[in-house]
Amino acid sequence: MSEPVRPPSPLDQLADRFVDAYAADQPTVATYMGVPGHDDRWPDLTPDGHAASAELLRSTIAEVERTDPVDRRDDVARSAMLERLGAELALHDAGWTQASLNSMESPLQGFRTTFDLMPAETEDDWATIARRISRIPEALAGYTAGLLDAAAKGRVSAVRQVRLSAGIARRWAGAAGQPSFYAEFAGRAPVGDALRADLDRAVAGANAALLTFADTVERELLPHAPEADGVGRERYALESRLFTGMDLDLEETYAWGWAELARIVAEKEAVAEQIAPGQGIAGAVAALDADPARQVRGRDALQAWLQATADRAIADLDGVHFDVPGPVKRIEGRLTPTSGEGVYYTGPTEDFSRPGRMWWSLPDGVTDMTTWRETTTVFHEGVPGHHLQIGQTVYNAALLNRWQRLLAMCSGHAEGWALYSERLMGELGFLDDLGDRLGMLDAQELRAARVVLDIGVHLDLPIPAGRAAGNRWTYDVALAFLRAHVDMEDAMRVDELHRYLGWPGQAPSYKVGERVWLTCRDEARARAGADFDLKAWHRAALDLGPLGLGPLAAELARS
């Protein structure tokens, strides 16, 4: 599948240097990428550390601008670097990167989820883990200093997000009867007495630091934190640009989201009628949930089902609808050790020694699941979704520089492709089972609901008459709206809402990205007519590597 490797261009060499510099600046990202040498460190989240991170972006952008591309491949890479690094720098310069604190995706979460990706088999592995845990107090103190400095400059998360984040820190520390994550994690280590003592000391220090962090952010940030959950148009535009890679017409996207939601609900009602005639969507859901053939009981059985479903999709698609590179044929389905983290994917390391993984997080006390909701999500996280897209990118050393393969990321590109993949699997017949079809539409309804809720809440846009339990977005109206459009446990709906409130602009990127992928495919088909080759189009599109949606549309218009 690989093509001959041309000599690295000056831009390739610059991109390679930037990957190494960024890995040193952001050690948790280095762990995610699999770049060695940083696994016992944390990012410097002090004001000085943030200033240094911004300067790295600024100087790299200037160097990219001075570097002339040598070929079309360089043109694409240069466009991608300028757009992605520019969007990241804009948030730094506005002060929101330093102020980042929320219930879903902020530096706080890195103090827990990073350990999911660290090797934990040998005593040397655990020695590295012990050093990283032992440095949590210093890193959290730096994070706190950065947050307080940002707050003094008027950049602080909403009251709800500060309180939720403090609660997360206390839960990980083992407060209020909860087991300490670090104690449970380190307790599994097969190590000798000396390293066991080091781990125990490190865990005790981390737990204490998390409790101090929680107390401090509540005491010091809450007096400055806004009560309103919405962040306003100025910040939202910056966040949306980071997540989509384009300047959205937010009002048009809001109106389109409402229309898309209505379309999906109508299709969902039609499928439900086939499953349980006359009983509506609720009756169809009840019938599917009661079907023993669709139930998986216990964590081990769920993990086995996830793995088998992902492996079967790869076997069925490879060589027919896609060409799956050899190393990408391996994927791992895993369950997270803690709750409240949703479903997500982590990519392979550069040498594929750590494979791509899809992760499911179950609510506390939940060990059983019905498969009809999850089949489409396996396609989203696995193949042809994130695992194929990201795995093929990592594999493509002949076409993409190291920054493109390991570090470039745009949510609209990645999540849009994953939603497109779900729709594609429906088109190809892999969701012909009515339950699996309803599951796909159920997930699509959630993603469309996110578009209108996220934009509506943060921009305080009016709600069309009769579409929700009020004419303006409030917390209670938003939660009632999710209850009407999202079929999941209520605690998970609440977590979803908190995610949107604290992570503005990210949730709409799924449907916005899918819209761009579908539009580009339709335009390519119209240009090619009877000569259109879908498999070849997929290959060419993914071979471009990660791009913002604006540059992606421009590149695909050339095909």
* Position 158 confidence tier, pLDDT thresholds 50, 70, 90: very high
- Structure-block tokens of residue 317: 């698609």
Site of tokens 């781990």: 199
Model confidence pLDDT, tens digit, residues 177-223: 778 999 999 998 999 999 999 999 999 999 999 999 999 999 999 99
Q: Is pLDDT at 501 greater than 50 in this prediction?
A: yes
Give φ, ψ of 335 to 5 degrees. Answer: -105, 140
- Structure-block tokens of residue 114: 């990073």
Residue 151: closest CA among 217, 209, 58, 201 = 217
**Distance between CA atoms of residues 314 and 381, nearest Å:** 12
**Distance between CA atoms of residues 236 and 505, nearest Å:** 6
Q: What percent of the chain has pLDDT over 90?
A: 88
CA angle centred on 219, ends 339 and 130, rounded to 5°: 50
Crossing angle of helices 233-244 and 250-275, in 10° steps, is 60
CA angle centred on 337, ends 336 and 343, rounded to 5°: 20
Task: Concatenate the DSSP letters of all residues of 278-313 into one string.
Answer: TSHHHHHHHHHHH-GGGEEESHHHHHHHHHHHHHHH
CA angle centred on 377, ends 372 and 378, rounded to 5°: 95
**Distance between CA atoms of residues 479 and 290, nearest Å:** 27
Whether the CB-CB separation of 145 and 205 falls below 8 Å is answered with no
- Average pLDDT score, the chain: 94
Model confidence pLDDT, tens digit, residues 255-268: 999 999 999 999 99
Q: How far is CA 506 from CA 158, 342, 346, in A?
A: 17, 14, 17
Q: Which of 1-10, 217-226, 326-335, 467-476 has the lowest mean pLDDT?
A: 1-10
User: What does pTM read for this prediction?
Assistant: 0.91
Helix (H) or strand (E) holding 210: helix 193-221
Model confidence pLDDT, tens digit, residues 36-87: 999 999 999 999 999 999 999 999 999 999 999 999 999 999 999 999 999 9
Q: How far is CA 67 from CA 9, 390, 432, in A?
A: 10, 27, 50
Q: Is pLDDT at 2 greater than 50 in this prediction?
A: no
Q: What's the confidence (pLDDT) of residue 338?
A: 64
Model confidence pLDDT, tens digit, residues 297-340: 888 898 999 999 999 999 999 999 999 999 999 999 998 876 65
Whether the CB-CB separation of 186 and 133 falls below 8 Å is answered with yes
**Distance between CA atoms of residues 125 and 121, nearest Å:** 6
Whether the CB-CB separation of 381 and 387 falls below 8 Å is answered with yes
For the chain, the domains span: 10-230, 242-510
- Structure-block tokens of residue 453: 């809720």
